Amino acid sequence: MANLYTFPNMTAGPDNVLIGLSAEIPLIMPIFLLSMYMIIFIGGNISQARLRGYADPSLWSLTGLMTVFLMALLMSLTAGIINPIVLSVIVSLLIINGLWFFLSRGRFEQ
């Protein structure tokens, strides 16, 4: 049966599966991290708006980026899973999001 890409070696451990996938499809991990961020960001905003009547996008964006950042750190332990530039971009976005988050806070509310 023809496959869209060459299967990684499944018997060499989970790390090798991820490395094989990344080698075959370089965008797979960035897309995975982006989907994680979008799930948290959109899901959090919609849930909060439904429950409280308002949403706090800077908070949910920061939550999503923190999650993605920690996952990217774990992926950086083994060479070949994500590109170092991806980690740098995530940290940069996290810092910019931090500015947005802190400037949107009230003194004591929320």
Partner 1 sequence: MGNIKYVGALLMTALFAVSIIVFSIGFGQENTAAFNLGDSEGFNDTRDSIQNNLVQYRTDVINSSNSFYESEISEGETVRTGGQFKVGPFTAYSAAKSTISQSFTTIFGKGAEFAYLLTALLGFLSFVLILYIWKTWAGRNPD
Positions in the binding site for partner 1 (CB under 8 A): 69, 73, 76-80, 84, 87-88, 91, 94-95, 98-99, 102-103, 105-107
CA distance 18 to 74: 12
Are the C-beta atoms of residues 80 and 19 closer than 8 Å to each other? Answer: yes
Q: How far is the CB of 43 from partner 1 (least distance, A)?
A: 23
Q: How far is the CB of 24 from partner 1 (least distance, A)?
A: 19
Nearest CA among 51, 21, 33, 45 for reference residue 90: 33
Q: How far is the CB of 101 from partner 1 (least distance, A)?
A: 8
Closest to partner 1 by CB, 40 vs 82, is 82
